[in-house]
């Protein structure tokens, strides 16, 4: 979509664009939130609404969010009571849902994005073009890269999966899956539910869709070690096959934190199994998930790319 300089034409193009609602659950993101605000403010096709849900911040996050909302009419701030600590997984989904409940306009797409991201000005324009070209595309994102010095390190995910850091759903897909499950592995569950509902999902290797992630994945709550154990427990909850998790853990040993990170994923899974922790109460979902995982193992195990 080309946005031209004449104001009257710009207004017409934006009015005709699909309506996108974005929601960002945030807590103590004073350092990183300004970058996200700049990225969204620079979009050639801006969101119809961006809801920043402050989940009990104790730093300057709320003040930054309110200042952005004062400057841009399409930004709204929702304030939640401080629960005393960051709560990932279920807490993020609870905050997301609280923000979604405040949306009064009809929307075509809904997205969740983290505060520790930046991206280029044509991100939403390019993503919406992908949705327009494929009516069965239910959820999509770009690829995620982590800046390290003067280089960018790609955070591996297969093309069929969608980045949980910035995920946009077609409204019909989001409705078909019944929203998000308030657990750590919500961004894996929704991907498989979307696929099982007949939608395609993609993370697209387009430079205009490059997402810069300014924090090591899984490190936002106390430590990366805790994050990797939580990842394994989430895989247990989702219903993943143990052979798939073993292969995934071995592969993830090649990523930071080297060796121990992958091992802790498997440890978290085994701990949850040993303690008999609860699982997603959807037996049919679990059966189909495991069938998909074993098919992936057959295709990818010897290529070293199992998520």
Q: Does the structure show a pLDDT above 50 at 78?
A: yes
Q: What is the pLDDT of residue 230?
A: 86
Please count the other Cβ atoms lying within 10 Å of the Cβ belonging to residue 39.
19
**Mean pLDDT of the chain, nearest integer:** 88
In this structure, what are the phi and psi dihedrals at residue 178, rounded to the nearest 5 degrees? Answer: 75, 25
Tell which residue, 117, 113, 98, has the closest CA to residue 169.
Answer: 113
Most confident of 110-119, 216-225, 241-250: 110-119
Distance CA 42, CA 274 (A): 49
CB 168 within 8 A of CB 139: yes
Q: What is the pLDDT of residue 73?
A: 96
Q: Does the structure show a pLDDT above 70 at 90?
A: yes
Q: What is the pLDDT of residues 146-180, one digit of tens each?
A: 998 889 999 988 899 999 999 999 999 999 999 99
* The Cα angle at residue 281 between residues 95 and 102, in degrees rounded to 5: 20
Distance CA 144, CA 167 (A): 11
Span 181-190, mean pLDDT? 90
User: Which comes out higher in pLDDT, residue 222 or 186?
Assistant: 186
Q: What is the pLDDT of residues 256-282, one digit of tens each?
A: 778 888 889 899 999 989 999 999 999
User: Which comes out higher in pLDDT, residue 9 or 245?
Assistant: 245
| DSSP state letter for 254 | T
For residue 156, with 0-12 CB atoms within 10 Å meaning exposed, 13-18 middle and 19 or more buried, which class applies?
middle
Q: What is the pLDDT of residue 84?
A: 61
User: Which comes out higher in pLDDT, residue 217 or 241?
Assistant: 241
User: Domain spans of the chain?
Assistant: 7-213, 224-303
Query: In which element (H, E) is residue 25 found?
Result: strand 20-26
In this structure, what are the phi and psi dihedrals at residue 56, rounded to the nearest 5 degrees? Answer: 85, 35
Predicted TM-score (pTM) of the model is 0.85
Half-sphere exposure at residue 43, Cβ-oriented, CA atoms within 13 angstroms: 27
Q: What is the largest CA-CA distance in the chain?
A: 64
CB 272 within 8 A of CB 236: yes
- Which residues share a beta bridge with 153? 146
CB 229 within 8 A of CB 268: yes
Tell which residue, 67, 203, 76, 62, has the closest CA to residue 143.
Answer: 203
- Which residues share a beta bridge with 79? 54
Residue with the two structure tokens 């919500």: 186
Q: What is the pLDDT of residues 13-46, one digit of tens each?
A: 344 679 999 999 999 999 999 999 999 999 999 9
Tell which residue, 202, 273, 218, 214, has the closest CA to residue 240.
Answer: 273
Q: Which two tokens stand for residue 102?
A: 């405040």
Tell which residue, 114, 218, 115, has the closest CA to residue 167.
Answer: 114
Q: What is the pLDDT of residues 233-258, one digit of tens each?
A: 999 999 999 999 998 888 888 877 78
Q: Which two tokens stand for residue 59?
A: 């730093």
Q: What is the pLDDT of residue 81?
A: 83
Tell which residue, 177, 188, 226, 206, has the closest CA to residue 307.
Answer: 188
The CATH number of 7-213 is which of 3.90.550.10, 2.60.120.10, 2.60.40.10, 3.30.910.20? Answer: 3.90.550.10
Beta strand 137-142 with 166-170: parallel, antiparallel or unpaired? Answer: antiparallel
Residue with the two structure tokens 């993370």: 203
Tell which residue, 253, 274, 271, has the closest CA to residue 262.
Answer: 253
pLDDT band at 109 (very low <50, low <70, confident <90, very high): very high
Q: Does the structure show a pLDDT above 50 at 8?
A: no
């Amino acid at each position: 979509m080309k946005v031209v300089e004449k104001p009257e034409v710009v207004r017409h193009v934006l009015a005709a664009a699909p309506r996108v609602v974005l929601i960002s659950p945030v807590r103590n993101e004073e350092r990183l939130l300004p970058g996200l605000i700049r990225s969204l403010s620079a979009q050639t096709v801006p969101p119809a609404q961006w809801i920043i849900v402050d989940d009990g911040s104790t730093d300057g996050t709320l003040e930054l969010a309110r200042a952005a909302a004062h400057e841009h009419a399409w930004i709204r701030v929702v304030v939640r009571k401080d629960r005393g600590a960051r709560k990932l997984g279920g807490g993020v989904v609870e905050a997301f849902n609280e923000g979604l409940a405040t949306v009064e306009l009809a929307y075509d797409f809904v997205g969740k994005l983290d505060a520790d991201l930046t991206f280029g000005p044509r991100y939403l324009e390019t993503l919406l073009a992908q949705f327009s070209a494929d009516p069965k595309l239910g959820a999509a994102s770009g690829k995620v890269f982590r800046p390290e010095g003067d280089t960018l390190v790609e955070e591996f995910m297969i093309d069929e999966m969608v980045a949980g850091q910035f995920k946009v759903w077609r409204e019909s897909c989001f409705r078909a899956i019944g929203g998000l499950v308030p657990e750590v592995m919500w961004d894996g569950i929704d991907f498989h539910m979307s696929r099982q509902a007949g939608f395609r999902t993609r993370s697209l290797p387009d430079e205009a869709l490059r997402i810069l992630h300014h924090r090591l994945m899984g490190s936002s709550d106390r430590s990366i070690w805790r994050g990797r154990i939580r990842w394994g427990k989430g895989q247990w909850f989702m219903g993943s096959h143990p052979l798939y998790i073993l292969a995934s853990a071995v592969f993830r040993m090649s990523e930071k934190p080297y060796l121990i990170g992958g091992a802790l994923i498997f440890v978290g899974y085994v701990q949850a199994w040993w303690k008999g922790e609860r699982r997603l109460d959807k037996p049919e979902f679990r059966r189909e998930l495991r069938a998909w995982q074993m098919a992936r193992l057959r295709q990818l195990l010897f290529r070293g790319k199992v998520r």
